[in-house]
Amino acid sequence: METSGAVSSSVKGGIAVITFGHPKSNSLPSKLFKRLTDEINKASDDAKVNVIILRSEGASSFCSGASFDEMLKLKDFKQSKEFFMCISGLLNAMYACSKFIITRVQGKAISAGVGIIAASDYVFATNIAHIKLSELSIGIGPFVIGPAIERKTGKAAFTALAIDNDWRDAFWCKNAGLFTKVFASIAELDEETHKLAEHIAKFSPEAAAEMKKIFREGTENWNELLEKRAEISAELILSDYAKTYLKNFMSK
C-alpha cells in the first residue's frame, strides 16, 4: 500500500471490486475520497459491470474516517469546504450509482466510514465491526454524513450516535439497519459477499438501475443539502477548539 493510500478496482464476471487502503487505519484524505468517487462513477457507467463490491484493506479497520492529517493542514474556508465536499461527493455518487453497491466491513468504522456504510445498498460485516461518530469531540459534527446515517437508522439512533461518541457493536448496527448480515469471520464475510455479488450479477441491469432510482428517492436535493452541511464543517474545523484537539491528538 502506498504511504499516501491507494484505490484499486477490477472487473470480472460483471462484478466490480473497488478497494481502498491507507496506512493509518484506512483513513481517507481528499485524494482518496475523489478517487473512490471516480471509481464508483466509472463502474456506474460501465456496461460490463452489474454490481459493485466496496471494500478496504487489512483486517482490523474498515475506515477510520476523514484524514486528521489533512484536516489539521486546512488554512481557510475555501480549502476546508473543498475537503468536506469530497465526502459529500462520494456519498452522492453512491446514491446516484446505477449499480447495487455491496459494502464489505471487516473491522471498525468511524465517522466518514460510517457514512459510506450508510450510503451502501447492502452491507456485510464481521462481529468485530464496531462503529462510532467522533466529530463532536473534534469540534465539528457529523453534518455531511448525517443525512445518510439518519436515513438508515432513524433520527433517534443517529442523535444518540452523534452525541455520546460511544462505540456501537455489530449487532447494534444490524438492528439499526446499517448492517444487513453479520458473520463470525472474515472468511465467511468474503464467501457470502461474493456469493451475493454473483447472484446480483445475473439480474437485469435495467431492473437494477430502476430499483436504484427508487432507493435514491428523498435524496434529490442532497447536492444542495450536503454543500450547506460541508460549509458548517468547513467553518468549525478552522476554530481554535478543533485545531487544538487535532494537534493534541496527533502528538499522542
Per-residue pLDDT tens for 149-190?
A: 999 999 999 999 999 999 999 999 999 999 999 999 999 999
Q: What is the mean pLDDT of the chain?
A: 96
Is 74 in contact with 40 (CB distance < 8 Å)? no
Per-residue pLDDT tens for 87-115?
A: 999 999 999 999 999 999 999 999 999 99
* DSSP annotation string for 170-194: HHHHHHHTS-SEEESSHHHHHHHHH
Instruction: Please give the CATH number for the structural domain made up of 6-200.
Output: 3.90.226.10
What CA–CA distance (Å, rounded) separates 165 from 170?
16
Residue 191 amino acid letter: E
Taking alpha carbons only, the member of 81, 87, 129 closest to residue 105 is 129
Domain regions of the chain by residue span = 6-200
Per-residue pLDDT at 1: 46
Sign of the Cα torsion 24, 26, 27, 31 reads positive
Alpha helices (runs of H) in the chain, residue ranges in sequence order: 30-45, 68-73, 77-96, 112-118, 135-138, 146-153, 155-164, 170-176, 186-200, 205-216, 222-236, 240-250
- pLDDT over threshold 50, residue 120: yes
Per-residue pLDDT at 250: 85
What CA–CA distance (Å, rounded) separates 66 from 53?
21
